[in-house]
């Protein structure tokens, strides 16, 4: 048993930002599933959005964010985070050589899809995530109050006797032993769930664990029907293998068929830089007809210099950049939904916080504007650190607790991981409909994943349980939302239905077995 002031699960940008900003008087422990650097944050290429350009203003960035989110966003949250972005980035830029600058020392600003101005701050060309993470890791290593434990798979939240405060977690170590960790503040920073799909840009450890754990412990989960599919993953021999950042289209690349026909002409006014769901759907239409789509990069000057990581990725996969064409396919990239939190990161369960992609503050609405998520992680990490530093403390942890999970079924009949991924891609993917969603719901139901007792399972089995629980949340929400909006597209109801659905959220709560409307969310968080 280990007691901590702050217990952080995961080691992405949100987790590390929180850890380094916490007061050095606090005892902080980070538990992470594999290595410290194994995280989506490390893979992030394009950059971080902030209204820093001469003609730019946060109000323009706010409008772009709401437009991309199809007005499902929490407008106050959007206002707050977007307005804070320029100062946040300038402060970080002062700390070292993290971001790319021109010869006069001014930050270089890139363009990305659905942004009305150049406002993407980037580092190492297309290695922004790596640069920011390395900076945070350097800071982390100088702090003696922070302990990082690698290869620790967190699998269950511990609740107090009354089951209304989260007081810690159970985790499996590499050798399979179980250890309990206690914390005054328990923070889930486990990222989204890209690995639920056959095609994904996500790190291998990002499979919905934190969301499933929070759900099983009784926290509100929201907006799970909104998943973003990135239009351009590198597509080789029927498999996706890494991301070709939107910044490549921002620099002038265009989407074409084998014979060079542009596929975004007449589809959206922003053409190749249209919102991600529009571009993904368009490419998907072609792929379903057996037609390969390419990014034509022939008009980008010095591609190698501007995009060194993407160049290396392509060359490692046998693509000749001199040919000017990169084969692409869309894949699961970013989850807009997650654990319902306020701006500080407080969930509906006392003592439990969520930050980063695992959380849902409402910033992204129905679809994320490119490069707004690293920003959200940095913002949330800082906000939560301020709140904790200001001295809020719970009474001493009660040693007696309940495991949050029922001592349920032991017999474990679970599908293969690939079956989960393929069925999600086919039935709860880029294009959905009632028939497929019901088929998936019935298929998932048979495993009764919520009921299975976890202690005796291997980490591989636990991963499947979390994938199944998260998949169920996504499928149920996608079936319930009988319209198309942002990342959620239903071919059987292809239009936005503002009358029934505008700013309405679907919330899942396992303990209360209920779904609530937006009004109820606000009440729940206020108590
Ligand atoms: C290829 C790629 C490129 C991207 N490019 C950009 C970009 O340019 N700009 C932008 O804004 N966003 C970008 N994104 C999105 C952005 O990177 C993520 O939304 C963000 O990094 C998420 O950060 P996070 O802190 O929430 O968690 P993550 O970085 O996803 O990290 C989650 C951590 O939790 C750990 N974990 C998971 N489960 C457990 C468990 N059970 N126990 C213990 N630890 C666990 C993981 O191993 C990992 O360390 C990109 C994403 C990808 C995949």
Pick the atom of ligand 1 nearest to 333's CA. 53
174 pLDDT higher than 80:
yes
Quick check: 179 and 312 in contact, CB under 8 A? no
**pLDDT level of residue 275 (50, 70, 90 thresholds):** confident
The SS3 call for residue 445 is helix
- Give the N- to C-terminal CA distance of the chain in Å, as an integer: 31
Nearest Cα neighbor of 239 from 421, 375, 90 is 421
Judge if the beta carbon of residue 377 lies within 6 A of ligand 1. yes
Tell me the per-residue pLDDT of 306-315, one tens digit each, with 9 for 90 and over.
899 999 999 9
523 pLDDT higher than 50:
no
Distance separating alpha carbons of residues 168 and 145, to the nearest angstrom: 19
The SS3 call for residue 524 is helix
Q: What residues act catalytically?
A: 276
Q: What is the pLDDT of residue 518?
A: 45
Quick check: 162 and 184 in contact, CB under 8 A? no
Nearest Cα neighbor of 230 from 241, 219, 243 is 243
For 489, the token pair is 């597209």
Quick check: 371 and 46 in contact, CB under 8 A? yes
The SS3 call for residue 56 is coil
Q: What is the pLDDT of residue 245?
A: 87
511 pLDDT higher than 70:
yes
Judge if the beta carbon of residue 153 lies within 6 A of ligand 1. yes
Judge if the beta carbon of residue 58 lies within 6 A of ligand 1. no
Q: How far is the CA of 357 from the centre of ligand 1 (A)?
A: 7
Tell me the per-residue pLDDT of 69-100, one tens digit each, with 9 for 90 and over.
999 999 999 999 999 999 999 999 999 999 99
Tell me the per-residue pLDDT of 288-332, one tens digit each, with 9 for 90 and over.
899 999 999 999 999 999 899 999 999 999 999 999 999 999 999
| β-strands 359-360, 338-340 pairing | parallel
The SS3 call for residue 150 is coil
- SS3 sequence, 170-192? EEEECCCCEEEEEEEEEEECCCC
Distance separating alpha carbons of residues 145 and 93, to the nearest angstrom: 25
514 pLDDT higher than 60:
no
The backbone region for 105, taken as left when phi is positive above 0, alpha when psi lies in -120 to 50, beta otherwise, is: left
Distance separating alpha carbons of residues 278 and 496, to the nearest angstrom: 13
Judge if the beta carbon of residue 335 lies within 6 A of ligand 1. no
Cβ neighbours around 314 below 10 Å, total: 23
Q: How far is the CA of 263 from the centre of ligand 1 (A)?
A: 31
Q: How many helices (H) and strands (E) does the chain have?
A: 16, 20
Judge if the beta carbon of residue 232 lies within 6 A of ligand 1. no
**pLDDT level of residue 524 (50, 70, 90 thresholds):** very low
Judge if the beta carbon of residue 112 lies within 6 A of ligand 1. no
CA torsion sign, 517 to 518 to 520 to 525? positive
In the chain, what's the furthest Cα-to-Cα distance? 68
Beta strands in 386-527 (DSSP E): 401-403, 507-508
Q: How far is the CA of 41 from the centre of ligand 1 (A)?
A: 4
Q: Which of 39, 151, 202, 385 to mutate to test the pocket of ligand 1 (most atoms within 8 A of CB)?
A: 39
Region 245-272: mean pLDDT is 94
Q: How far is the CA of 376 from the centre of ligand 1 (A)?
A: 12
Percent of the chain with pLDDT strictly greater than 70: 93
Lowest mean pLDDT across 259-263, 361-365, 399-403, 516-520? 516-520
| Protein residue with least CA distance to atom 5, ligand 1 | 44
CA 315 to mean position of chain CA atoms: 28
**pLDDT level of residue 278 (50, 70, 90 thresholds):** confident
Q: What is the pLDDT of residue 335?
A: 98
Pick the atom of ligand 1 nearest to 46's CA. 8
Place of tokens 């499979």: 207
Distance separating alpha carbons of residues 249 and 274, to the nearest angstrom: 10
Nearest Cα neighbor of 253 from 355, 183, 321 is 321
Judge if the beta carbon of residue 189 lies within 6 A of ligand 1. yes
What would you report as the CA-atom Rg of the chain, rounded to the nearest whole angstrom? 22
Quick check: 431 and 284 in contact, CB under 8 A? yes
Distance separating alpha carbons of residues 415 and 128, to the nearest angstrom: 37
Pick the atom of ligand 1 nearest to 10's CA. 34
Tell me the per-residue pLDDT of 383-423, one tens digit each, with 9 for 90 and over.
999 999 998 665 555 556 666 555 566 667 899 999 999 99
For 213, the token pair is 């754990």
Region 480-508: mean pLDDT is 96
Cβ neighbours around 524 below 10 Å, total: 15
Q: How far is the CA of 383 from the centre of ligand 1 (A)?
A: 19
Judge if the beta carbon of residue 200 lies within 6 A of ligand 1. no
pTM of the shown model: 0.93
For 238, the token pair is 């029927």
Q: How far apart, in Å, are the Cα atoms of 148 and each of 7, 31, 137, 143?
A: 10, 6, 11, 11
Distance separating alpha carbons of residues 56 and 58, to the nearest angstrom: 7
Pick the atom of ligand 1 nearest to 372's CA. 11
Q: What is the pLDDT of residue 257?
A: 97
Render the burial of 376-407: b for 16+ CB within 10 Å, e for the rest: bbbbbbbbbbebbeeeeeeeebeeebebbbee
Distance separating alpha carbons of residues 448 and 415, to the nearest angstrom: 12
Tell me the per-residue pLDDT of 115-133, one tens digit each, with 9 for 90 and over.
999 999 999 998 999 999 9
Percent of the chain with pLDDT strictly greater than 90: 84
Nearest Cα neighbor of 11 from 99, 137, 97, 96 is 137
Residue 422 burial (10 A CB sphere; 0-12, 13-18, 19+): middle
Quick check: 278 and 272 in contact, CB under 8 A? no
| β-strands 227-236, 507-508 pairing | unpaired
Place of tokens 């991963």: 463
């Amino acid at each position: 048993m280990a007691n901590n002031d702050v217990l952080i699960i995961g080691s992405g940008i949100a987790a590390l930002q929180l850890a380094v900003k916490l007061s050095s008087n606090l005892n902080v422990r980070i538990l992470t599933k594999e290595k410290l650097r194994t995280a989506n944050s490390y893979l992030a290429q394009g950059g971080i959005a902030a209204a820093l350009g001469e003609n730019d203003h946060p109000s323009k960035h706010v409008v772009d964010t709401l437009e991309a989110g199809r007005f499902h966003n929490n407008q106050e949250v959007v206002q707050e985070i977007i307005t804070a972005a320029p100062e946040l980035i300038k402060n970080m830029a002062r700390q070292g050589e993290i971001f790319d600058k021109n010869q006069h020392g001014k930050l270089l600003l890139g363009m990305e899809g659905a942004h009305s101005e150049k406002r993407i701050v980037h580092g190492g060309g297309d290695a922004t995530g790596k640069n920011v993470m390395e900076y945070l890791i350097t800071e982390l290593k100088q702090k003696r109050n922070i302990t990082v434990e690698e290869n620790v798979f967190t699998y269950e939240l511990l609740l107090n006797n009354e089951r209304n405060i989260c007081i810690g977690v159970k985790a499996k170590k590499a050798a399979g032993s179980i250890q309990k960790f206690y914390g005054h503040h328990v923070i889930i920073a486990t990222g989204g769930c890209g690995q639920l799909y056959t095609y994904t840009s996500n790190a291998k450890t990002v499979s919905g664990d934190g969301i499933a754990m929070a759900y099983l412990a009784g926290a509100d989960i929201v907006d799970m029907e909104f998943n973003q599919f990135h239009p351009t993953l590198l597509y080789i021999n029927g498999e996706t293998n890494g991301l070709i950042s939107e910044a490549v289209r921002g620099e002038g690349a265009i989407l074409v068929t084998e014979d060079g026909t542009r596929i975004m002409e007449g589809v959206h006014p922003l053409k190749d830089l249209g919102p991600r769901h529009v571009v993904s759907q368009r490419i998907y239409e072609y792929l379903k007809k057996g037609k390969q789509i390419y990014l034509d990069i022939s008009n980008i000057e010095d591609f190698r210099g501007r995009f060194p990581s993407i160049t290396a990725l392509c060359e490692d996969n046998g693509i000749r950049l001199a040919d000017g064409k990169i084969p692409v396919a869309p894949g699961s990239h970013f989850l807009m939904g997650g654990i319902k939190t306020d701006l500080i990161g407080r969930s509906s369960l006392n003592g439990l916080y969520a930050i980063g992609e695992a959380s849902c503050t409402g910033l992204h609405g129905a679809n994320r504007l490119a490069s707004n998520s690293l920003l959200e992680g940095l913002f949330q990490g800082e906000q939560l650190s301020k709140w904790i530093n200001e001295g809020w403390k719970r009474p001493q942890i009660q040693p007696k607790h309940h495991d949050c999970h029922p001592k349920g079924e032991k017999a474990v009949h679970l599908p293969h991981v690939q079956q989960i991924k393929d069925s999600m891609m086919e039935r709860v993917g880029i294009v959905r409909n009632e028939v497929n969603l019901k088929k998936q719901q019935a298929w998932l139901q048979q495993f009764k994943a919520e009921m299975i007792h976890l202690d005796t399972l291997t980490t591989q089995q636990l991963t499947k349980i979390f994938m199944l629980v998260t998949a169920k949340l996504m499928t149920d929400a996608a079936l319930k939302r009988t319209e198309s909006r942002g990342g959620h597209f239903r071919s059987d109801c292809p239009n936005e239905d503002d009358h029934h659905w505008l700013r309405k959220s679907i919330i899942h709560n396992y303990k209360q077995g209920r779904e609530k409307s937006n009004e109820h969310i606000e009440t729940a968080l206020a108590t």
